[in-house]
């Protein structure tokens, strides 16, 4: 028997991720809640999209040349995406990351061949912040480009052209609401812009963790944070270039406890092992679904982003001692050990 395999390039594996109806969240919201399975990307996160878009844009502008280096400051997932894309295209990678991120992310970056630079976590105004450190390293490294994911709008463009278009097709042109958290802002702004181009009545909601300032900004016009969160890769204290002009209609603030509740339920009930950012996104989608039902929309359909795999957080979210040390609820199945 002859088997003919489709021909393509490895980078074609980025994007076109599956969409799944989430039974528990749908029941809770009283409408259909869908999750875009971004953990199905080669680097196991939504950030593969931004990595590919930023690198292709730098090539098109002639800024990134053969044998060059890509430098970026990241909480981890963008760095992993950049390292994979860079390997496929023959570039080197230097990643600057706060040293409080999960050890799995650090080990993964090293395994992928990236040069990893760890710095203490600090406020953006501090010149030693991981973003500023990565910019300086790019300036000091011959043949290097700075990815600048927070303020490089090639980031949100891949979501306008890719993620939003995929959602529209997968949901047969019927989307009542979309929500997710913001890190760089590329996903929420890009998907929001792309969906609004197709239907201005789609409600775009920001789902913000505690400790971030965007909930207050979109609710009251003031960048003000309250509380804190252990979620990695989400939460923002400024309006990045990617967030500028984001079509946010409403906003929700979700606690780590609520987000972890959904992480536990999605694993126990639906077999999805996800990170906390996904749990927070799902909690926001439930709130948006309830809001649309209350407003009288008939069987609204809401989509969100399942950002990355929970296997990236085995030493943190899926570790009973770590959860207890953060005064967070410990998953009940740990008590069986």
Helix (H) or strand (E) holding 106: helix 103-111
**Cβ-contact 235, 211 below 8 angstroms:** yes
Phi, psi (5° rounding) for residue 121?
-65, 140
| Residue recorded with tokens 């900004």 | 217
Neighbouring residues of 215: CB distance < 8 A, sequence distance ≥ 6: 206, 208, 251, 252, 253
Which residues are known catalytic residues? 47
- Of 137, 101, 93, the residue nearest 121 (C-alpha): 101
| Residue recorded with tokens 């949100």 | 156
CB environment 249-276: b (16+ within 10 A), e (fewer): bbbbbbebebbbbbbbbbbeeeebbbbb
CB-count burial class (<10 Å; 0-12, 13-18, 19+) for 11: middle
CB environment 77-116: b (16+ within 10 A), e (fewer): bbbbbbbbbbebbebbbbbbbbeebbebbbebbeebebbb
């Amino acid at each position: 028997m002859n088997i003919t395999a489709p021909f393509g390039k490895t980078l074609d594996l980025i994007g076109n991720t599956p969409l799944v109806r989430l039974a528990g969240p749908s029941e809770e919201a009283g409408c259909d809640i869908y999750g875009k399975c971004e953990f199905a990307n080669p680097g196991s996160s939504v950030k593969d999209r931004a990595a590919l878009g930023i690198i292709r844009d730098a090539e098109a502008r002639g800024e990134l040349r053969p044998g060059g280096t890509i430098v970026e400051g990241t909480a981890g997932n963008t760095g992993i995406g950049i390292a994979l894309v860079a390997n496929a295209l023959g570039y080197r990678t230097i990643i600057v990351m706060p040293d409080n991120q999960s050890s799995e992310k650090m080990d993964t970056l090293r395994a992928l061949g990236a040069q990893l630079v760890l710095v203490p976590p600090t406020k953006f105004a501090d010149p030693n912040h991981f973003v500023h450190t990565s910019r300086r390293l790019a300036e000091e490294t011959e043949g290097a480009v700075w990815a600048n994911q927070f303020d490089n709008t090639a980031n949100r463009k891949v979501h306008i052209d890719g993620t939003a278009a995929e959602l529209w097709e997968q949901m047969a042109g019927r989307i009542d609401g979309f929500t997710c958290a913001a890190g760089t802002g590329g996903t929420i702004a890009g998907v929001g812009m792309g969906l609004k181009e197709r239907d201005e009545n789609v409600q775009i909601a920001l789902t913000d963790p505690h400790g971030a300032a965007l909930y207050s900004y979109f609710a009251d016009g003031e960048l003000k944070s309250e509380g804190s969160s252990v979620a990695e890769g989400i939460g923002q204290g400024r309006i990045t270039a990617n967030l500028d002009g984001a079509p946010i209609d409403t906003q929700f603030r979700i606690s780590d406890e609520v987000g972890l509740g959904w992480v536990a339920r999605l694993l126990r009930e639906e077999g999805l092992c996800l990170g906390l950012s996904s749990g927070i996104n799902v909690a926001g989608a439930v709130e948006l679904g309830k809001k649309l039902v209350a407003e009288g929309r008939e069987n609204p359909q809401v989509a969100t982003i399942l950002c990355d795999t929970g296997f990236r957080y085995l030493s943190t979210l899926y570790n009973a001692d770590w959860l207890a040390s953060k005064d967070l609820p410990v998953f009940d199945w740990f008590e069986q050990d």
